[in-house]
């Protein structure tokens, strides 16, 4: 899943929970899913940040 797809899914989950569209018995499941998506996004952002840092630190020809 791409970063953008994960963010879109997180937004959908948050909207559903805010609007009370998630039954209480499914709330923990949705929260676990959101937590996993957040971790995935953090990893992808960290990897992108490191890649950009390496590009900026490398000498240009």
In the chain, where the domains are located: 3-56
Query: Is 60 a residue whose pLDDT tops 80?
Result: no
- Using one digit for the tens of pLDDT, what is the confidence trace for 2-33? 999 999 999 999 999 899 888 888 999 999 99
Average pLDDT, the chain: 92
Q: What pTM does this model have?
A: 0.80
Q: What b-and-e string marks burial along 30-47, b requiring 16 or more CB atoms within 10 Å of the CB?
A: beeebeebeebbeebeee
Classify residue 10 as exposed, middle or buried by CB count within 10 Å of its CB (0-12, 13-18, 19+): middle
Residue with tokens 């890649």, as numbered in its chain = 51
- Residue 46 is predicted with a pLDDT of 97
Rounded to whole angstroms, what are the CA distances from 11 to 1, 31, 54, 56, 60? Answer: 15, 12, 31, 32, 39
């Amino acid at each position: 899943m791409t970063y953008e797809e994960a963010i879109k899914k997180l937004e959908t989950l948050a909207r559903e929970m805010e609007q009370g569209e998630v039954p209480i018995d499914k709330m923990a499941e949705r929260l676990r899913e959101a937590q996993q998506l957040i971790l995935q996004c953090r990893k992808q952002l960290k990897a992108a940040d490191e890649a950009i840092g390496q590009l900026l630190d490398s000498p240009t020809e």
